[in-house]
A and B are shown apart, each in its own frame.
Chain A
């Protein structure tokens, strides 16, 4: 089955830039989506189709992809960005696949 690999945790100080990676085989041929999940809440879409933002999502969130790695970048990190972040793709053999999630800690 298809696997997406994310770091367990990322830490960054307020005002700095946080980067969360997501790796998978042949990721370049897939559309990557990103979700933010604050404690006790449902996931919320923050980036879709690699780099597009839904309406209402701050431009501080951006997505990119190079080779087999996608990256969610959060500029000028704030305390309110502290959450779990998940990447997700659709794979022809495994259907919908989520990464294991990355906990962002704002120092």
Chain B
């Protein structure tokens, strides 16, 4: 069973860059057909998909965030990372990493989530 764990700062200042890492165990981020995603949940609101990186390193982002987002992977550490630039209070959310099925695009395994607050 694949397990995912998010890590990173819980507090980020406005205009700075939010950086989170997801560590994967019980599976490899290089497994053929695997997609690794970031999703966030805004306060008292629903879920918003941020983007994914595939096992080949291909990335794809939510168009509404594309100009500020970067997702990368370190296969040697079995980790993938999120960088969100120029953050504002509107980026305050719980951030989840997840394993995405690459055929019909559902999220079969999730990390527990990490709260990130944007505040000075």
Indicate, yes or no, whether A interacts with B.
Answer: yes
Query: Taking A43-B47, A98-B49 as contacts, is the C-beta distance between A88 and B63 under 8 angstroms?
Result: no
Q: Is the CB of B108 within 8 A of A90?
A: no
Whether B113 is near chain A, meaning CB under 8 Å from some CB there, is: yes
Q: Is the CB of A45 within 8 A of B96?
A: no
Q: Of B104, B108, B111, which one neighbours A54 at CB under 8 angstroms?
A: B108
Interface centre among B37, B96, B107, B113 (most CB of A within 10 A): B107
- What is the distance, in angstroms, from A51's C-beta to the closest C-beta of chain B? 12
Whether A96 is near chain B, meaning CB under 8 Å from some CB there, is: yes
Q: Is the CB of B47 within 8 A of A42?
A: no
Chain B 90-116 interface 0/1 with A at a Cβ cutoff of 8 Å (1 = within): 000000100001001111101111000
Chain B residues whose C-beta falls within 8 Å of the C-beta of A101 in the assembled complex: 46-47
Whether B48 is near chain A, meaning CB under 8 Å from some CB there, is: yes
Q: In the docked arrangement, what's the CA distance between A31 and B107, Å? A: 13
Chain A 43-79 interface 0/1 with B at a Cβ cutoff of 8 Å (1 = within): 1110011000010000000000000000000000000
Q: Is the CB of B107 within 8 A of A95?
A: no
Query: Taking A42-B113, A43-B110, A44-B110 as contacts, is the C-beta distance between A31 and B104 under 8 angstroms?
Result: yes
Q: Can you report 7 residue pairs joining A to B where beta carbons are below 8 Å apart?
A: A31-B106, A42-B111, A45-B108, A48-B104, A95-B49, A95-B63, A96-B37
List A residues at the B interface (Cβ < 8 Å): 31, 33, 35, 41-45, 48-49, 54, 86, 88, 90, 95-101
